[in-house]
A and B are shown apart, each in its own frame.
Chain A
């Protein structure tokens, strides 16, 4: 009891200090984001209009949701290349289920399907000790193929209006799907920062051997992150289908690259153990802003890929350069 009282006053200050030190990367990313939006608003008067902002929110939902799962996976030094085709495939599962099942049940079926596919990924990677790149590459191909097979290569349209509400409804003027996105990020942030599972995920990515020796459930959480990633792909599919009340087997092609880019721009290390969910969120917004900006600037669509690719690499290079300068002192003081 006495230690409680004694320790209480110095805790908030320490917390704040730690928060600032720990959030340096996010603060830098936020600054980058600010500069980007400022630049865009100067170039295009349309940028800061309500309709464009609503448009930006809408566009960040799909990439944003899937990027949460991708962050979990990359934190344990894995990678999930199958998220794009799983979004497509679970979208088809959703469409087919809606032909017989009520909406909530159909959504559940799609999410379970996505989680199952993720489980297969995680199980083979963890128990079979196969590289995540290979396994999820395989699942990427299987997922897309299943989307075609299940749909007969046709898009499924005329989905029920109730689904459309998910895309059109608003909460205090903010689109419901964006609210869901923010809530999902809040949950993910809490989970990664304040729970046993979250810290275990970081520990696995940083040093799986040490985590195992300390009694952490390395295998369980290594599988779990892929389940989460698969399930969130299905959640994204729901919002994707809700947008135009139709789902196409080719939907979300290339989404895996956008999510990996968002996570990496957000400061995560592909070697695991480093990165935050807030960083990923900023990364997603930066990705969306860049696409939006290129459209506003009427950049030739053929050139957009080059522009986006270059910006991603440049952003990560800059980040590495900045953090390397910071890291020098730490590496130096390691020696006796």
Chain B
């Protein structure tokens, strides 16, 4: 065997000069792509760059017009997805292609239903158990449950397991993390690493740069149907360079912070006050307020109740308890039209389901809220003409698209249209629920700039997002929600992604830590807390206090400077033995995650007069709990 041939066989997929045109658009013009065995290869590009088209060709969902595709050195031309699966290539779809009424088990083995012969349910169940075990999903996915009862991220996991069950050699992940919280992304990455260890070759299509840099080995960038970077090593690529390759120009400041900087101090009058809001099972007790001209981020994991909370404000859900005030006046929307008339705009989470009227043109979609708000019989579209021209220009959209069907636009452009729909209404308050999900970075920066401009004109903006990077980048202030309650309200300049994740941790996953705090207080009294110390400041994620606990100057969800707490010296020194101060005697135990990352400190402060236990005992209890947390994380991740 010649060296060249041996080299070739190292390639799982080699595509050359692949062309594909749809009726009006040339989707791919001669792209090349090479996937090595056992690597994770990022395929990135702006919306419409041809990533999905290419992925679909490789996985047999579409046929190329022409081009040469080799699988392990052999030329292939798949006639259908089944052909591709037989050859060992599967694609994990972005919009889940699952049957909602079938069980998890049936969905995982759906491809086998097409095979001749009888199915043995017993054998399938046993194989499914083994599969779950293998990928650390045991206990996370109930096999017998109907798919419709699962969360979006669980469904995505089923979709992934479906690909794994086929024992494919090449798996293409098409934006698998769009519905995932950070913890779930971690878990998926563990699965992906495990797969490469077993010699599988993975293609990872994603918009999230930080994920690309974390998990992939090499990067191929598509722009306008051609590869502008081919298999560049991820380690040698800088984020700014990647963005430049994707959009073809420099985007220096994607969050469009400009000179103002993030977290500019804000003193405008409150547009929205929410107090003790409860709505349905997911929203239990939420309070926060948004000032005019402020961008408030509502952060939290999927399932924390953020979407449900804003939907209740907008009249899409019934408010059970609590008070909402709009510009100071009591307000309650029974239907969206009430909220719209009161000056609220709402960009929903699910663009296809809640945002767009698919059969309408761009113009009619753009003017949909205008139509809803309008009194009278006629359409009144012409009144808005001048306004639309200005707006389209600001969003860098051509007025020529107005009479096109909305579905002819890319996802990013569709989202711009939905955003424009509400800007047209000059809202007092604009609610955006995951506005950039599945939107490429170029479009994202336009959307952020537009949001910022809107805020500068005095609109209060409420941004819901599970992308912590985005929340920190765009918002002035962040309210973190967890398990249906607001945990903290913090200026975005004081917080980073890790701390947000810890604030946002749902009770279920922070349970072990909470249990440790309770046990410490039960044994020794005083007050126990889980904090993170950084520079001058402490961040308190959780605290449990006995009835006669000493005052320590911070509580769950607060983030004072260490000097302002009542136990500054103990904190300053991260004292691992009891250190007495006027407020009481404190001891701190550092926590580490299973991959060795910093999880903050567990601390215990006892009243000045009380007897002090052995600090090692405190440490042992704290770390036992931490071990339990780690065990849980491992169970989740492995």
A interface with B by C-beta (< 8 Å) = 3, 7, 14, 17-18, 194-197, 199-200, 202-203, 205-207, 209-217, 273-274, 328-330, 332-336
- Shortest CB-to-CB span from A7 to chain B, Å, is 7
B547: interface (CB < 8 Å): no
Give the complex CA separation of A217 and B360 in angstroms. 17
A330–B407 Cα distance when bound, in Å, is 7
Nearest first, the 8 A-B pairs at minimum CB distance are A329-B23, A215-B372, A332-B22, A215-B340, A206-B359, A214-B368, A215-B337, A273-B359
Query: Cβ of B389 and Cβ of A214 under 8 Å apart?
Result: no
CA A333 to CA B44, docked complex, whole Å: 19
The reply to whether B368 and A336 contact each other, CB–CB distance below 8 Å, is no
- Contact residues, B20-77 vs A (CB, 8 A): 22-25, 27, 47-53, 56
B521 CB to nearest chain A CB (Å): 46
A-B contact pairs, 12 of them (CB 8 A): A196-B374, A196-B378, A196-B379, A203-B357, A210-B353, A210-B355, A210-B357, A328-B23, A330-B407, A330-B408, A335-B27, A336-B53
Q: Which residue from B25, B348, B356 sits with its C-beta under 8 Å from A333?
A: B25
Using A196-B376, A209-B353, A210-B357 as known contacts, say yes or no to A3 and B385 having CB atoms under 8 A apart. Answer: yes
State the CA gap A134–B294 with chains docked (Å). 50
Closest A-chain residue to B21, C-beta based? Answer: A332
Residues of B within 8 A of A213 (CB): 314, 316, 336, 346, 348, 354-355
- Complex Cα gap A212–B49 (Å): 33
Shortest Cβ distance from A198 into B: residue: B379
> Interface size bucket, B side?
35 or more
CA distance A336 to B405 in the complex (A): 16
Contact assessment for A196 and B410 in the assembled complex, using a CB-CB cutoff below 8 Å? no
B372-390, CB < 8 A from A: 372-374, 376-379, 385-386, 389
Question: Which of the residues B335, B341, B389 comes within 8 Å of A3, measured between beta carbons?
Answer: B389
CB < 8 Å neighbour of A334 from B336, B369, B377, B407:
B407
A2: nearest residue on chain B (CB-CB)?
Answer: B386
Q: Considering only CB atoms, which chain A residue lies closest to B23 in the complex? A: A329
Known contacts A3-B386, A217-B337; A333 and B378 CB within 8 A of each other: no
B47, A336: Cβ atoms closer than 8 Å: yes
A70-B373 Cα distance, complex, nearest whole Å: 28
Assuming the contacts A3-B389, A213-B316, asked whether A207 and B358 have C-beta atoms less than 8 A apart, the reply is: yes
- Starting from the known contacts A330-B407, A336-B411, 16 additional A-B residue pairs (CB-CB under 8 Å) come to A194-B379, A195-B378, A196-B376, A206-B357, A210-B353, A213-B316, A213-B348, A213-B355, A215-B339, A217-B337, A273-B359, A329-B24, A333-B23, A333-B408, A334-B408, A336-B50
Assembled-state Cα–Cα distance A17/B361 (Å):
14
Contacts of A209 in B (CB 8 A): 353-354
Residues of B within 8 A of A (CB): 22-25, 27, 47-53, 56, 314, 316, 335-337, 339-341, 346, 348, 353-360, 364, 368-369, 371-374, 376-379, 385-386, 389, 403, 405, 407-408, 410-411, 421
Chain A positions within 8 Å of B379 at CB level: 194-196, 199
Chain B residues positioned under 8 Å from A207 (CB to CB) = 353, 356-358
Contact A336 B340 (CB under 8 A): no
| Chain B residue contacts of A215, Cβ below 8 A | 335-337, 339-341, 369, 372-373
Q: How far is the CA of A193 from the CA of B195 in the complex (A)?
A: 56
Tell me the smallest distance from the CB of A330 to a CB of chain B, in Å: 6
Q: Is the CB of A336 within 8 A of B410?
A: yes
In the complex, residue of chain B having the shortest beta-carbon distance to the beta carbon of A6? B389
Q: Are A14 and B421 in contact (CB under 8 A)?
A: no
B87 to chain A, nearest CB (A): 22
Partner of A336, one of B48, B355, B385: B48
Which residues of the partner chain B approach A211 to less than 8 Å between Cβ atoms? 357, 368, 372
- Nearest Cβ on chain A to B398's Cβ, whole angstroms: 14
A212 in contact with B335 given A332-B23, A335-B53 (CB within 8 Å): yes
The answer for the CA separation of A213 and B307 in the assembled complex, in Å, is 14
Quick check: B24 and A335 within 8 Å, CB to CB? no
Q: Are B346 and A199 in contact, CB atoms less than 8 angstroms apart?
A: no
The interface residues of chain B lying within 8 Å CB-to-CB of A206 are 357-360
- Distance between B96 CB and nearest chain A CB, rounded to angstroms: 16
User: Could you tell me the distance between the alpha carbons of A305 and B517 in the complex, rounded to whole angstroms?
Assistant: 80
The reply to whether A197 and B359 form a contact with Cβ atoms under 8 Å apart is no
A81 nearest CB across to chain B (Å): 25
Give the CA-CA distance A197 to B372 in the complex, in Å: 10
Assess the A216–B360 pair: CB atoms within 8 A.
no
Q: Which chain A residues lie closer than 8 Å to B24 at the CB level?
A: 329, 333
Q: Which of B47, B357, B372, B377 neighbours the largest number of chain A CB atoms within 10 Å of its CB?
A: B357
B403 & A14 in contact (Cβ 8 Å cutoff): yes
* CA distance in complex: A3, B386 (Å): 7
Given contacts A197-B377, A203-B368, A332-B23, whether A210 and B359 have CB atoms under 8 Å apart is: no
Q: Give Cα A161 to B189, complex, Å.
A: 84
Most chain B beta carbons < 10 A, residue from A203, A209, A332, A335: A335
A207 to B351, CA, bound (A): 11
Cα distance, A195 to B375, chains bound together (Å) = 11
Q: With A and B bound together, what is the CA distance between A247 and B51 in angstroms?
A: 66
The answer for the CA separation of A205 and B357 in the assembled complex, in Å, is: 9
> Contact between A335 and B52 (Cβ–Cβ < 8 Å)?
yes
**Bound state CA distance, A199 and B376, in angstroms?**
13
Chain A residues with CB below 8 A from B410, complex form? 336
Q: How far is the CA of A334 from the CA of B56 in the complex (A)?
A: 13
**Contact (Cβ within 8 A) A202 B359:** yes
Q: A203-B357, A206-B357, A329-B24 are in contact. Are A214 and B377 (CB under 8 A)?
A: no
In the complex, the chain B residue whose C-beta lies closest to that of A17 is B403
A271 nearest in chain B by CB position? B359
Give the residue among B336, B369, B372, B421 with the most A Cβ atoms within 10 A.
B372
Checking A7, A203, A205, A335 against B385 with a beta-carbon cut-off of 8 angstroms, the contacting residue is A7
Of chain B, the residue at the smallest CB distance from A275 is B359
* Beta-carbon contact of B336 and A214 below 8 Å: yes
When distances are taken between beta carbons in the complex, the residues of chain A under 8 Å from B340 are: 214-215
Docked CA distance A329–B50 (Å): 16
Given A330-B405, A336-B51: A214 touches B371 (CB 8 Å cut-off): yes
Distance A144 CA – B38 CA, assembled complex (angstroms): 71
Q: A93 to B491, alpha carbons, bound, how many Å? A: 70
Residue in A14, A18, A215, A328 with the greatest tally of chain B CB atoms within 10 Å:
A215
Q: Are B405 and A216 in contact (CB under 8 A)?
A: no
Provide the residues of chain B in CB contact with A3, threshold 8 Å: 385-386, 389
Q: Which residue of A lies closest to B389 (CB)?
A: A3
Asked if B403 and A18 make an inter-chain contact with CB atoms under 8 angstroms apart, the answer reads yes
Considering the chains assembled together, what is the distance between the CA atoms of A210 and B52 in angstroms? Answer: 26
Which of A212, A216, A274 touches B359 (beta carbons < 8 Å)? A274
Are A210 and B22 in contact, with the CB atoms below 8 A?
no
Contact call A214/B359, Cβ cutoff below 8 A: no
| Min C-beta distance of B582 to chain A, whole Å | 56
Instruction: Take A3-B389, A195-B378 as given contacts and tell me if A333 and B22 are in contact as well, using a CB distance cutoff of 8 Å.
Output: yes
Bound-state CA distance A210–B359 (Å) is 12
In the complex, what distance in Å separates the CA atom of A196 from the CA atom of B379?
Answer: 5
Complex interface: chain A residues within 8 A of B25 (CB): 333
Which residues of chain B have C-beta atoms less than 8 A from A17's C-beta? 403
Q: Which of B339, B364, B403, B407 contacts A199 (CB 8 A)?
A: B364
* C-alpha gap A200/B367 in the complex (Å): 12
Task: Give every chain A residue within 8 A of B348 (Cβ-Cβ).
Answer: 213
CA distance A209 to B359 in the complex (A): 14
In the bound complex, residues from chain B placing their C-beta under 8 Å from that of A329 are: 22-24
Chain A residue numbers with a CB within 8 Å of B51 are 336
Chain A residue nearest in CB terms to B369: A214
> In whole angstroms, what is the CA distance A213 to B356 when docked?
10
Residues of chain B within 8 A of A205, CB atoms compared: 359
Q: From residue A197, how far is it (CB to closest CB) to chain B in Å?
A: 7
Residues of B close to A333: CB separation below 8 A: 22-25, 27, 408
Distance, CA A216 to CA B52, complexed state (A) = 34
* Smallest CB separation, A284 vs chain B (Å): 23
Most buried by B among A212, A216, A274: A216
